[in-house]
Amino acid sequence: MSTLAGAERRGAASGREAMPPDVEYALRLGDDALVLSQRLSEWITRAPALEEEMALANIALDLLGQARALLTHAGEREGHGRDEDALAFLRPERELRNCLLVELPGGDFGRTVARLLLFSAYQLELYASLQLSTDPMLAAVAARAVKEVAYHRNHAILWTLRLGDGTEESHRRIQRGLDEVWPYAAELFESDPLVRDLARRGVAIDPSGLRATWDGAVRAVLAEATLTVPDDGWAPSGGRLGLHTEHLGYLFAEMQHLHRSHPGASW
């Protein structure tokens, strides 16, 4: 999963038609939000407190709103008649462009908090910059989303501090969760020719330029929470090109079941 060029060759060999760059970029952002929304919604009825269940549900709904806007935009730009539902429910997993971090199972609450901290800190930097996109739709989505994501990050910070500097057991669990998800954060900042070209045209943000600010912000939180920053090393990737972990298939089988079982159904 770590070789982007190899994944591109395999995609071409399979006959998959390359999408326009702006469509591909919108799908990357939209799929990130869609998949993490689904993962967070799994905590409904399972969160450690009713208040936290409501908080995670609201964060999931925020992400779903971002996904709907971005997938609708991608479908309109693609011009093949696919709307947000078709892109969410009728694509196979190899056509999903989300990063691997968001598709990992939530695990226990400490792992979910650690992932939310890493991802929301990245999203906040991304959308703060994307507000200046030359694509009016992306700029509008970013302007709305940056306010939502600021809350997501603050919520994750509060829980990181509470668990990390709490009991011995809470500290152990969030440290373990952080160690598990940390390697996947590197993919958030990978650049490629597609995104670099869009960034030169003012459409996209090259994520490699966000790493330093993200790193400083996250490390400051972890230090205050008395948590140890994991060592950088193994860094899996490939999600942007459709190479996913085995977890996404199970997630999408559940998510897409109703829509595929009743084609064309509506409320």
Structure tokens at 94: 């190899």
Q: pLDDT value at position 255?
A: 84
Whether 69 and 113 have beta carbons less than 8 Å apart is answered as no
Which residues of the chain are modeled with pLDDT < 70? 1-17, 266-267
> At CA 207, angle to CA 3 and CA 204, rounded to 5?
110
Type of residue numbered 7: A
Parse the chain into domains and list their residue ranges.
Answer: 20-261
Q: pLDDT value at position 220?
A: 98
CA 45 to chain centre: 23
Q: What pTM, to 2 d.p., does this model score?
A: 0.91
pLDDT tens figures, 55-97: 999 999 999 999 999 999 999 999 999 999 999 999 999 999 9
Q: pLDDT value at position 261?
A: 83
Distance CA 191, CA 207 (A): 6
SS3 17: coil
Whether 108 and 180 have beta carbons less than 8 Å apart is answered as no
DSSP 8-state symbol, 14? T
| CATH code for residues 20-261 | 1.20.1260.10
Whether 18 and 5 have beta carbons less than 8 Å apart is answered as no
Distance CA 38, CA 64 (A): 8
